[in-house]
Amino acid sequence: MLKAIIKGLFYSMFKILEAIFIKRKMNKETDQAKKRAILGKFTSTLGMVLNIILSLAKIILGLFTGTISIVADGINNLTDSATAIVSLIGFKLSLEPADKDHPFGHQRFEYISGILVALLALVTGLILAKESIIDIINDEGIDFSRFYIMIIVLSLSILIKLWMGYFYKKVGLRIESISLKATSFDAFNDCLITASILIALIITKTFDITKLPIDGILGIGLSIFIVFNGIKLVKEAMSPLLGEAAKEDEIALIYNKILSYKGVINIHDLLIHSYGPKKRFITCHVEVEQDMNLVDAHELADEIERDFRRDFGFNLTIHIDPVDTKDELTLKFKSRINDIIENINIEYDNKITFHDFRLIKNIDNIILEFDCINPFESKIKDDDLIEMIENKYKDNKINNEEVIFVINVDKS
């Protein structure tokens, strides 16, 4: 029930803020990259303002009451303000157009800002651990004369941070922003930190437990949780920069779209390069009938490339591969190779595939040329795979003619 109320309030506030500050800056001509930047910059600016307000309130209250954990929580919010500034700079720089030195644009600045946000979350956890240990060692006691003010400020802080966490998460998912997703996690962490301080204050005050530094103990526990998750966030933020694999639904979208065009038999060698959340450069080989007119094949490739740029904003480059689907001898050998690879897959529980099959018939021999895709998780080495295919063919030849294999093995 409480979760539904919070989500309802969040949704209402999101729609109000979107209508007032975001939609008026957009129109039908606004491109996707600019829409992302507008949403990202607004979210980061809002987070910066709210975190500065929370930070000042907590630091002042903590100094007046001698509560080190509240001061540390205020410093944590100040760090969050810096995080928001980093995200804001990242969104602004990512909008810079491509230039001579950076022909693919600057959207990867957002990935860098995501790493910095994750590192700041990690540092926050370490700072909290340090302050909690100092609090346990010193244990100077807390001034409870402003107890109810502390309860009100900390409770409001939890509600504001909870709303901010949902807000960051909603926008982060909507615009596929790593930095905002990391900031969302950090905001929820802040709720846990402030809640632990609030619980510790209430328990200490209610039961007059002055000898046991509950707030410091809870702070250490939470700092360990934040540090481990901070490390996880750093890894997640670095993955796109290192060149992570595309998502399966995105690969399926590209495959299904290209295969829907008349004249396309199959596609392979699909490579997707990400230069930002909405910046994709894609290359692939498209198979067509070998007797298709060269001009028609070129027009087909141009049509697909234009449609991808218009519908998805993807920069697609197509290489046309002519294949023979009518020659009986070619089909006979292709079927035999297919059986051999299927047997290998069954024997080794693998998912090897092949494509670009060509048969060249000479006077003295037949050359079979094709590419194999040996998955990264395969236990078969590339050279061993080639040897297996050749040996299995020799064990069950189609005819007595000498067959020469030209096999290229790729990974996927």
pLDDT tier, 215 (very low <50, low <70, confident <90, very high otherwise): low
User: What is the distance between the alpha carbons of residues 295 and 368, in angstroms, rounded to a whole number?
Assistant: 28
Q: Tell me, what's the pLDDT at 27?
A: 53
Tens digit of each residue's pLDDT (9 = 90 or more) over 92-137 = 776 677 778 777 777 777 777 777 777 877 887 788 788 778 877 8
Specify the amino acid at residue 130. Answer: K
- Minimum mean pLDDT among 6-15, 163-172, 342-351: which range? 6-15
Is this structure's pTM higher than 0.75? no
pLDDT at residue 223 greater than cutoff 80: no
3-state SS, residue 407: strand
User: Coil, strand, or helix at residue 209?
Assistant: coil
Q: Is 233 left (phi over 0), alpha (psi -120 to 50) or beta?
A: alpha
Q: Which phi and psi (to 5°) does residue 360 adopt?
A: -115, 115
In this predicted structure, what is the pLDDT of residue 362? 86
In this prediction, residue 141 carries a pLDDT of 62
CATH class (in words) of the domain with range 328-411: alpha beta
CA separation for the pair 338, 353 (Å, rounded): 8
Q: Of 110-124, 142-156, 309-323, which has the strongest mean pLDDT?
A: 309-323
Looking at the domain covering 2-242, what would its CATH class be? mainly alpha
Q: What is the DSSP letter of 406?
A: E
Q: What pLDDT is recorded for position 2?
A: 55
Q: Which of 87-101, 168-182, 351-365 has the lowest mean pLDDT?
A: 87-101
Q: Which residue has the higher pLDDT, 173 or 371?
A: 371
CB 51 within 8 A of CB 40: no
Residue length of the chain: 412
Q: Report d(CA 59, CA 344) in Å as an integer.
A: 67
CATH architecture of 248-323: 2-Layer Sandwich (3.30)
Q: Which long-range contacts does 4-12 make (Cβ < 8 Å, 24+ apart)?
A: 6/162, 6/163, 6/166, 7/166, 9/163, 10/163, 10/166, 10/167, 10/170
Angle separating helix axes 248-259 and 294-312, nearest 10 degrees: 140
Element (H, E) at 246: none
> Which comes out higher in pLDDT, residue 25 or 388?
388
Apex 47 CA angle, 7 and 201, nearest 5? 75
Alpha helices in 260-370 (DSSP H): 294-312, 328-348
Take residue 246 and report the two structure tokens written for it. 């595309």
Confidence band of 297 (pLDDT split at 50, 70, 90): very high
Q: Which residue has the higher pLDDT, 106 or 319?
A: 319
Closest CA to 223 of 129, 136, 118: 129
**Range in 150-154, 231-235, 358-362, 386-390 with the lowest mean pLDDT:** 231-235
Q: Is 372 helix (H, G, I), strand (E, B) or coil?
A: strand
Instruction: Please say if the pLDDT value at position 392 is more than 90.
Output: no
* Residue 79, amino acid: T
Max mean pLDDT range (188-197, 300-309, 395-404):
300-309
Q: Under a CB-based contact definition with an 8 Å cutoff, are residues 154 and 198 in contact?
A: yes
Angle (nearest 5°) at CA 264 between 258 and 268? 65
In tens, the pLDDT along 9-59 reads 655 666 666 555 555 555 554 556 677 777 777 888 888 888 889 888 888
**Which residues are CB-neighbours of 21 under 8 A, at least 6 positions away?**
42
pLDDT at 190: 84
What are the domain boundaries of the chain?
A: 2-242, 248-323, 328-411
Q: DSSP label at 19?
A: I
> What percent of the chain shows pLDDT beyond 70?
86
pLDDT band at 217 (very low <50, low <70, confident <90, very high): confident
The whole-angstrom separation of Cα 275 and Cα 79 is 28
Q: What per-residue confidence (pLDDT) applies to 144?
A: 73
Q: What is the pLDDT of residue 246?
A: 74
Q: What is the pLDDT of residue 23?
A: 56
Q: For all residues of the chain together, what is the average pLDDT?
A: 80
Q: How confident is the model at residue 5 (pLDDT cuts 50, 70, 90)?
A: low
Number of Cα atoms under 13 Å in the Cβ half of residue 152: 6
Is the pLDDT score of 213 beyond 70?
Answer: yes
Whether residue 69 is predicted with pLDDT greater than 90 in this model: the reply is no
* Cα-based torsion angle of the residue sequence 35, 91, 243, 249 in order, rounded to the nearest 10 degrees: -30
pLDDT at 176: 74
Q: How far from 109 is each of 63, 142, 177, 212, 241, CA to CA, in Å?
A: 38, 44, 11, 47, 10
In a 3-state reduction of DSSP, which class is residue 188? helix
The predicted pLDDT at position 25 comes to 53
Q: What is d(CA 283, CA 318) in angstroms, rounded to the nearest whole number? A: 6
Same topology between domain 2-242 and domain 328-411: no
| H or E element, residue 289 | strand 280-289
